[in-house]
Amino acid sequence: MAESRFAFIFAPELRERLQWFIKLRWLAVAGLVAASLVGPRIGMQSVWPSLFLVALFVAAYNLIFFNVFRIAEEHGQPYGNLRSCAIRQMVMDLLSLVVTVHFSGGLQSPLLPVFAFHMAIGTIMIATRIMYVLAAATSVGLLGLYMAEGKGLLAVHPVDPTRGMCGRACDLNLVALTVALFGIVYLTDSVTSRFKKRNIELYRTTGKLQERTTELQCLLDEIAELEQRKSHYMRISAHQLRSPLGTVQTTLSVLAKGYVDPASERGRRLLAGAIERVDGLLAIVNDLLELAKIREGRGRAPWSRAINVNQLLADIMDALEPLAAERNIELVPDFDGVAILDWGIPPDLVHAFENLVQNAIKYSYRGGAVTVRLRVNDTAVTVQVLDRGIGIPAAFRDQVLLEFVRAPNAKRHAPEGTGLGLAIVREVFEAHGGGVAVSSEEGAGSTFAVELPLHYTPPEARRLLQQGNEDGYRPHTAPAGTASE
Question: Domain check: are 208 and 306 in the same one?
Answer: no
Question: What's the pLDDT tens digit per position in 177-233?
Answer: 999 999 999 999 888 888 777 877 887 788 888 888 888 898 888 888 767 766 656
Give the count of beta carbons closer than 10 Å to the beta carbon of residue 58: 23
Identify any residues that bridge with 333 across adjacent strands, giving them in sequence order: 372
Q: Which of 13-17, 153-157, 369-373, 438-442 has the weakest average pLDDT? A: 13-17
Question: Domain check: are 24 and 154 in the same one?
Answer: yes
Which class for 412: exposed (0-12), middle (13-18), buried (19 or more C-beta within 10 A)? exposed
The residue that leads in pLDDT, 249 or 393, is: 393
pLDDT of the residue at 295:
62
Coil, strand or helix at 222 = helix
Using pLDDT thresholds of 50, 70 and 90, give the confidence band for residue 479: very low
How large is the average pLDDT for residues 416-434?
81
Q: Indicate whether 478 pLDDT > 90.
A: no
Phi, psi of 6 (to 5 degrees): -110, 20
Instruction: Name the average pLDDT for the chain.
Output: 81
Residue 241's nearest CA partner among 44, 476, 418 is 418
Question: Domain check: are 205 and 312 in the same one?
Answer: no
Domain-embedded: residue 196: yes
Identify any residues that bridge with 385 across adjacent strands, giving them in sequence order: 372, 448
Domain-embedded: residue 477: no
Domain-embedded: residue 132: yes
Question: β-pairing, 369-376 with 330-336?
Answer: parallel
Rounded Cα–Cα distance for residues 36 and 39 (Å): 5
- What's the domain range around 24? 2-214
pLDDT of the residue at 418:
60
pTM score over 0.85: no
Contact status, residue 188 vs residue 121, Cβ threshold 8 Å: no
Question: What's the pLDDT tens digit per position in 92-124?
Answer: 999 999 999 988 888 888 888 899 888 998 888
Which class for 103: exposed (0-12), middle (13-18), buried (19 or more C-beta within 10 A)? buried
Coil, strand or helix at 453 = strand
Phi, psi of 390 (to 5 degrees): -75, -20
Assign 3-class secondary structure to 89-146. Answer: HHHHHHHHHHHHHHHCCHHHCCCCHHHHHHHHHHHHHCCHHHHHHHHHHHHHHHHHHH
Question: Domain check: are 27 and 158 in the same one?
Answer: yes
Question: What's the pLDDT tens digit per position in 279-322?
Answer: 777 777 776 666 666 666 544 567 888 999 999 999 999 999 99
Question: β-pairing, 445-453 with 380-387?
Answer: antiparallel
Rounded Cα–Cα distance for residues 304 and 40 (Å): 101
pLDDT of the residue at 8:
57
Question: Domain check: are 315 and 451 in the same one?
Answer: yes
Question: Domain check: are 204 and 323 in the same one?
Answer: no
Question: What's the pLDDT tens digit per position in 245-275?
Answer: 777 778 788 777 777 777 788 888 888 888 8
Question: Domain check: are 28 and 177 in the same one?
Answer: yes
Q: Indicate whether 136 pLDDT > 50.
A: yes
Where helices occur in 126-264 by DSSP H, the ranges are 128-150, 168-256
Question: Domain check: are 21 and 116 in the same one?
Answer: yes
Domain-embedded: residue 279: no
Output the domain CATH number for residue 326: 3.30.565.10
Domain-embedded: residue 248: no
Contact status, residue 458 vs residue 303, Cβ threshold 8 Å: yes
Task: Give ∠ CA 273-274-277 in degrees, rounded to 5.
Answer: 90
Sign of CA dihedral 190, 20, 76, 87: negative
Domain end position, chosen among 175, 191, 214: 214
Q: Which residues of 139-167 are buried (b: 16+ CB within 10 A; e: fewer)?
A: bebbeebbeebeeeeeebbbbeeeeeebe
Coil, strand or helix at 202 = helix
How large is the average pLDDT for residues 355-381?
92
Q: Indicate whether 164 pLDDT > 60.
A: no
Omega prior to 49 cis, within 30 of 0: yes
Rounded Cα–Cα distance for residues 128 and 159 (Å): 34
Rounded Cα–Cα distance for residues 447 and 100 (Å): 86
How large is the average pLDDT for residues 406-431?
76
Question: Domain check: are 305 and 178 in the same one?
Answer: no
Contact status, residue 416 vs residue 280, Cβ threshold 8 Å: yes
Q: Which of 123-137, 297-311, 463-477 has the weakest average pLDDT? A: 463-477
Domain-embedded: residue 313: yes
Domain-embedded: residue 108: yes
Domain end position, chosen among 167, 182, 214: 214
Question: Domain check: are 191 and 317 in the same one?
Answer: no
Rounded Cα–Cα distance for residues 101 and 158 (Å): 10
Domain-embedded: residue 126: yes
Question: Domain check: are 179 and 30 in the same one?
Answer: yes
Q: Please give the tally of structural domains in the chain.
A: 2
The DSSP 8-state label assigned to residue 442 in this structure reads T
pLDDT of the residue at 474:
46
pLDDT of the residue at 10:
64
pLDDT of the residue at 335:
94
Domain end position, chosen among 214, 238, 267: 214
Residue 347's nearest CA partner among 396, 302, 399 is 302
Question: Domain check: are 335 and 466 in the same one?
Answer: yes
Question: What's the pLDDT tens digit per position in 18-41?
Answer: 888 889 999 999 999 998 898 888
pLDDT of the residue at 144:
92
CA 453 centroid distance within chain: 25
